Chain A
Amino acid sequence: DEMRVALVVKALGIGFFEAAAKGAEEAAAELGNTEIIYTGPTDTTAEGQIEVINALIAQGVNAIAVSANDADALVPALKKAMDRGITVISWDSGVAPDGRMMHLNPSSTELIGNTIIKLAADHMPDGGDVAILSATATATNQNAWIEAAKAVLPNYPGINLVATVYGDDLSDKSYREAEGLMATYPDLKAIIAPTTVGILAACQAVTDAGKIGQVNVTGLGLPSEMAGCVESGATESFAIWNPIDLGYAATYIAHELASGNAKAEPGASISMGRIGSVTLDDTNTGAMSDPFTYDASNIEQFKSIF
């Protein structure tokens, strides 16, 4: 009978996840006889996600695909889900290996780490200070990208990472943190925000401080949200993978696993429908695709898509 796939996101209402939900519906339509339950807490807490997951277990859904607020705290709840025969995967922000069958990274961690530094460095021919504005200090994916970014820093001589601050994916907090960065480091050349909330807030803060042209805001953002920043010049360029594709792929994989068409094990190759297929490494993790860079030349084309 009908297959029910739950797409559990960090919090409802975030543009990125709304786009992913669109992709999930697209996959469901393509696969047929599949119902998508798009859900999540209203604030980015692990406890909130656990309650949602418990409710999903009770409904006996076939698969849960979760973008986690906390890699560890969800493990017991997700384990219980797997014990009751539910297929569990994580996507975007991962869960510790115990708590899921596989994890779908939007892109490879190394690639993202490199991309965000490169985005900043491309517009700093003379080098200089950069700072990172992250989401919550507990966000797994953010931390992994930042680690990866730090690892490639030696490849960019003259680029000096002065601070990492956390805006908790709250606009006002991110805004204040960005302000603080500009006050503390008057010579700051770029703010790198690998989060869609943070990059917007930083862009606003730079605009308000009258530092367009002086401080370049870059990182990961959605074209629809970033169009204004690119137009004003606060952002030279930014990157993102397609969240619609990500939602689509997560759903497709969950369906494949739940229907027994594929098995999550190291080395396995699982189909992602129109996107291709993903190959799992030894922690059962796979990457979807490369991030794509947007700037003044192509933003118009994409801003109405996602």
Chain B
Amino acid sequence: MTEPAPILALDGITKTFPGVKALSDVSLSLFPGQVTALVGENGAGKSTVVKILTGIYQPTEGRILVDGAETRFPTAQAAADAGITAIHQETVLFDELSVAENIFLGHAPRGRFGLIDWPELMRKARALLDEIGAEIDPSHKLKDLGIANKHLVAIARALSIDARVVIMDEPTAALSHKEIQELYALVEQLKAQGKAILFISHKFDEIFRIADNFTVFRDGQFVGEGKIADVTNDTLVKMMVGRDVSHVFPDRTPVFGDTVLEVSGYDHPTEFADIAFSLKKGEILGFYGLVGAGRSELMQALFGITRPTRGEIRIDGQTTLIHSPADAVAAGIVYVPEDRGKQGAITALPIFQNVTLPSISRTSRRGFLRLAEEFKLAREYTERLDLRAASLDTNVENLSGGNQQKVVIAKWLATRPKVIILDEPTKGIDIGSKAAVHEFMAELAAEGLAVIMVSSEIPEVLGMSDRILVMREGRIVAEVSGDDRTPETLVRHAAGISEG
């Protein structure tokens, strides 16, 4: 065997959160000069591994080995000191600090008396940004940057630490084609320098292009590992999902009714422009796009969270003004947001209160609460979604991600809406719940509800939608239906590549 010894290895790592076992007995090895791809569905535990490797979480059980020696990373600093650096999935940076400082916070160059040497800091930051091909002024405040540039700053920060192990958690999700190419070149360069790279991505073409090894997780468990050269796309997907992908989505024969929602000439000063589309009863309309394409912003505007500069919304043919979510709910539009913890549920309140919150006027009398009515309504809708919980009086924060999502959906169904918008409805929820949500979406459409589904997962978009709109940089760039419905078309439109 010519296999070198791993620089970094995880052995039998388990990580539990209150109510969730995010990782259970997983292993992982990273080798010098090699790229290891970590693949798994949303919520498989990939980012949790990254956080354990970078000292942000402490494993509940198991060992971390650096050069074969057991180590602990009590803080992020400890991991950095051990030569491990990461580009995290979410950008964890400081809006109020300059770009240069974001890159070097914690290890800024020091001058006399150990004081921070600002000119040197700027110089080094500029050099780093140049190296990754980012045209960003290091003296700007981070808050003045767009999401893609922020991500480039995060990459620069990871590279500013002279590390032996570089972890990249979905680094290309927010980047444009050109920037992605530069990132690939960078990965090659790091490899050549003998660094070990952990690369997390949902894009298979990417994985097959740059990875040497792979490790697969499913539902927090280790499924397998090997050489990329030894597997095909299909086998990898099967390992990841645990069954054949084609059977996941419900079969449906859609029956469309009248048009319920028409949006035209919808503009926002900074987020989106020229939005026009319509939606029929019983239809599932998919919105695809890369992260940051502005889909969530558009949906939130329809729901009255943000105000567009102009445009018209018609519901059942009637022009409707929506200035607040309360207006939207009254008009029959509801929104299941992407960020469940912050926007979807009031997690510190019990399930039944969450479910009845927007329809409280129905369960109460003259403004006074009627608990019995509330429990009745909550029971009716949570049972339909097959919610698993200790009781309806349990706080939502104690539920698993999938069950939390069910509570949020139940709360909106209880308002008896006409249009339901689901933003990344299955993001980060386990496979069982995912299928349940899909099945339920189909059921709702069959009952005549109009459904808008925003999703970044190509199989989901293809499997569920009757029609797909693709957004890029705040505009609808294509409508895809019929035979065009291939992953390639979606990606091409979303990324703005003129031909496949």
Direct contact of A and B (CB under 8 A): no
